[in-house]
């Protein structure tokens, strides 16, 4: 580990947020604005985890240094597992590792194809110009996702906010849904590990899996070398956090904590403003220098 983390008297009290997004993927704030926002909220350690993209990390690191924030190099990789989309966060990755860089590029290329398919589906429902509209909200358009379509649909008056969009559009059975095949679980965990990072299952409570399917996912992930699960995240109820705290302890997986912040007004938790990990969890940052 190369970091020198703030020396907290109690490592559970460290203001640490290991999941958030910038304009490099589908967040609303530029990496610099995001770090300003983190500094204003007293965040001490932040992982920027853009979807399938690491291009925001350089700018984030420069602003983090100005504020004395420890920036962890992160990414959130889109995976297809048994027909479901699962997100794997990589922490402390090497963003220049060739295998990771190539893998992420192939996912981003796939996103552009999917975006054309989403726009074609919306066209069928009489909603036109969404590809161009989504690209506009995606900035330079090198990473395009459903959030960019969601913002376009809000702008056009089809829904009052992005949460409402995801109830009526862009999901299975609704207008603007396009099935897509992402990376495999083994690829994502392998890219993260081979680049020196630690793999974390993002928001495990969000997947529509039976008990036995969830167990299979956790065990397969662990067998592949995955090390942690998000226990506290904007996607979990307090009950789910306790449930996944128990899963982490039972399976010897580390526990992570991240807001999944996308921007003011778009996320359940503000940066760094989530509950602490339940006691008994081993934090994913337990062996990062300076935290114990």
Distances (CA, A) of 258 to 18, 35, 139, 276: 5, 15, 25, 10
Residue 26 engages ligand AMP in binding (rule: CB under 6 A):
yes
Name which position in 69, 162, 183, 255 contacts ligand AMP (CB under 6 A).
162
Site string for Mn ion, 52-81 (x = CB under 5 A): ------------------------x-----
The 140-169 site mask, x for binding Mn ion (CB under 5 A), equals ------------------------------
Binding of residue 147 to ligand AMP (CB under 6 A): yes
Q: Rule CB under 6 A: is residue 51 a binding residue for ligand AMP?
A: yes
Q: Least distance in Å: CB of 6 to ligand AMP? A: 29
From the list 26-34, 109-117, 210-218, 222-230, the region that binds Mn ion by CB under 5 A is 26-34
Q: Pick between residue 147 and residue 245 the one whose CB is nearest to ligand AMP.
A: 147
Residue from 116, 163, 168, 286 in contact with ligand AMP (CB under 6 A): 163
- Cβ distance to ligand AMP smaller for residue 76 or 227: 76
102: CB partners within 8 A, 6+ apart: none
Q: Closest approach of Cβ 161 to ligand AMP, in Å?
A: 9
**Residue 262 touching ligand AMP (CB under 6 A):** yes
Q: Which of 12/177 has CB closer to ligand AMP?
A: 177
Which residues on neighbouring strands pair with residue 232, listed in sequence order?
257
- The binding site for Mn ion (CB under 5 A) comprises 26, 76, 87, 202, 260
Binding site for ligand AMP (CB under 6 A): 26, 51, 78, 145-147, 162-163, 166, 262
């Amino acid at each position: 580990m190369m970091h020198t983390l703030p020396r907290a008297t109690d490592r559970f009290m460290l203001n640490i947020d290991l999941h958030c997004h910038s304009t490099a993927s589908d967040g609303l704030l530029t990496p610099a604005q995001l770090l300003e926002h983190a500094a204003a909220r007293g965040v001490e350690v932040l992982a920027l985890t853009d979807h399938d993209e690491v291009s925001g990390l350089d700018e984030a690191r420069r602003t983090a240094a100005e504020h004395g924030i420890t920036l962890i190099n992160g990414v959130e990789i889109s995976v297809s597992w048994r027909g479901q989309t699962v997100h794997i966060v990589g922490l402390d990755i090497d963003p220049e590792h060739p295998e990771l860089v190539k893998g992420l590029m192939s996912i981003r290329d796939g996103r552009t194809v999917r975006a054309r398919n989403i726009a074609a589906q919306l066209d069928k429902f009489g909603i036109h110009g969404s590809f161009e509209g989504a690209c506009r909200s995606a900035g330079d358009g090198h990473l395009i996702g459903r959030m960019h379509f969601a913002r376009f649909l809000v702008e056009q008056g089809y829904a009052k906010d992005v949460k409402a969009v995801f109830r009526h559009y862009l999901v299975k059975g609704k207008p603007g849904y396009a099935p897509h095949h992402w990376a495999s679980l083994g690829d994502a965990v392998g890219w993260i590990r081979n680049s020196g990072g630690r793999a974390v299952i993002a928001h495990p409570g969000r997947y529509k899996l039976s008990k036995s399917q969830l167990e299979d996912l956790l065990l397969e992930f662990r067998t592949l070398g995955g090390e942690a699960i998000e226990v506290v995240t904007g996607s979990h109820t307090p009950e789910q956090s306790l449930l996944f705290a128990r899963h982490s302890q039972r399976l010897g997986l580390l526990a992570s904590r991240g807001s999944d912040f996308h921007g003011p007004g778009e996320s359940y938790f503000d940066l760094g403003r989530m509950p602490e990990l339940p006691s008994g969890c081993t934090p994913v940052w337990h062996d990062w220098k300076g935290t114990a």
